[in-house]
């Protein structure tokens, strides 16, 4: 997949909100300081004029943000969780919004869930991956910030994530927003997720 065009096209702030179109969607999830905005900007080649807001304050993404890519699909940036300094009722509202979106909104083809390679998967990570399995959405787990690890540490991080989250090796992808490692592989994975089942024949 080549990125030809990217455009922010809308936001859903409450369950029941309407998407800005009927294109297939791939959602990106992860805790607030996992590097999700940096990954999205690197993936979409928007490192100079950033399209996803990068902040030193976790929790800046507070709704479902839709980006139209190549006029072919929506990349949907989900609210972060875990380290966001916001009131509990707000975090609960985000959780309700995310669960409604993933289970009921209808056009989600799959989810890319981000986990910091430097740390054990959190209880939030466990819950999200289990929830995605429960609702039957294809899931790819991306280990972020791999440039911060030595080679031996990376192997341990990958093995740890595979075991902790009960993943198949094909569901795990290392990524670095700093070096660009994993970008092409992630674009290929997105193309596979977005493929219409009827195209496989």
Domain spans, the chain? 6-195
pTM: 0.86
Contact 43/59 with Cβ under 8 angstroms? no
70-98 per-position pLDDT tens digit = 999 999 999 876 544 555 555 556 578 88
70: left (phi over 0), alpha (psi -120 to 50) or beta: left
> What is the token pair recorded at 169?
């090796």
End-to-end CA distance of the chain: 20
Closest to 63 (Cα-Cα) out of 10, 112, 108: 10
Residue found by looking up tokens 């089942």 in the block: 197
The CATH classification number of 6-195 equals 3.40.50.300
Q: Strand, coil or helix: what is 141?
A: strand
129-168 per-position pLDDT tens digit = 999 999 999 999 999 999 999 999 999 999 999 999 999 9
Give the chain's largest Cα–Cα span.
Answer: 49
DSSP 143-179: EE-GGGS-HHHHHHHHHHHHHHTT--GGGEEE--TTT
């Amino acid at each position: 997949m080549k990125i030809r065009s990217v455009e922010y096209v809308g936001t859903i702030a409450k369950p029941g909100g309407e998407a800005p179109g009927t294109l297939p969607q791939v959602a990106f999830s992860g805790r607030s300081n996992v590097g999700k905005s940096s990954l999205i900007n690197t993936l979409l080649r928007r490192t100079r004029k950033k399209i996803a807001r990068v902040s030193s304050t976790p929790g800046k993404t507070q709704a479902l943000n839709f980006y139209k890519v190549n006029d072919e699909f929506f990349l949907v940036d989900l609210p972060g969780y875990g380290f966001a300094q916001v009131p509990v009722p707000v975090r609960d509202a985000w959780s309700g919004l995310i669960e409604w979106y993933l289970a009921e909104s209808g056009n989600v083809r799959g989810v890319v869930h981000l986990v910091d390679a430097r740390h054990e998967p959190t209880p939030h990570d466990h819950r999200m991956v289990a929830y995605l399995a429960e609702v039957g959405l294809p899931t790819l787990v991306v280990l972020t910030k791999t440039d911060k690890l030595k080679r031996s540490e990376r192997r341990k991080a990958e093995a740890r994530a595979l075991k902790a989250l009960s993943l198949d090796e094909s569901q795990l992808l290392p990524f670095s927003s700093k070096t660009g490692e994993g970008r092409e592989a992630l674009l290929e994975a997105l193309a596979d997720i977005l493929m219409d089942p009827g195209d496989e024949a």
